[in-house]
Amino acid sequence: MRTVPLEIVTPDRQVYSGEVNMIIARGGDGELGILPGHTPIVTTLKVAPLRMQLNDGTREVQVAVSGGFLEVQPEKITVLATAAELPEEIDFDRAERAKQRAEGRISGAANSAEINVERAVLALQRATTRLQVGRTR
């Protein structure tokens, strides 16, 4: 089975660099499945798990991605993420507290003009994504 190099970077660090058989990501227009030799594209990424198939498709690893960009070239895939975490890097307690805070802000938004609902919804998406990916350890 063919592979393609994948690099996932954030402003702070390189999260992943290695060969993959396929990735599945949530782009601005929906789910994307990228195989080696894919047509070049650049798209935004949503807050969602990015799935990587490794070892001839027998192993899947997820990465919690908090937005960014995906660039696909026939010889390389690059993810420029706002933030990204591998499952073993996720602090469950912290993610659960963030989820509860966001849910509280969203439910209290009707009573307060100071709460930015859009920010709270994004925080909830990030926390939910981190919890989902963290469970794949």
Task: Give me the domains of the chain, ranges plus CATH numbers.
Answer: 4-85 (2.60.15.10), 90-134 (1.20.5)
pLDDT tens digits, residue range 73-94? 989 999 999 999 999 999 999 9
CA 133/CA 41 separation, integer angstroms: 25
123 contacts: CB under 8 Å, gap ≥ 6: 98, 101, 102, 105
Tokens in use for 120? 């709270």
67 contacts: CB under 8 Å, gap ≥ 6: 44, 45, 46, 47, 81, 82, 83
State whether residue 112 is helix, strand or coil: coil
Say yes or no to pLDDT of 113 above 90.
Answer: no
pLDDT tens digits, residue range 33-43? 999 999 999 99
Crossing angle for the helix pair 92-108 and 117-134, to the nearest 10 degrees: 150
Tokens in use for 135? 């469970």
Residue entry with tokens 């047509």:
39
Length of the chain (residues): 137
Predicted local confidence at residue 112, as pLDDT: 65
Predicted local confidence at residue 34, as pLDDT: 96
CA 76/CA 86 separation, integer angstroms: 20
Predicted local confidence at residue 1, as pLDDT: 78
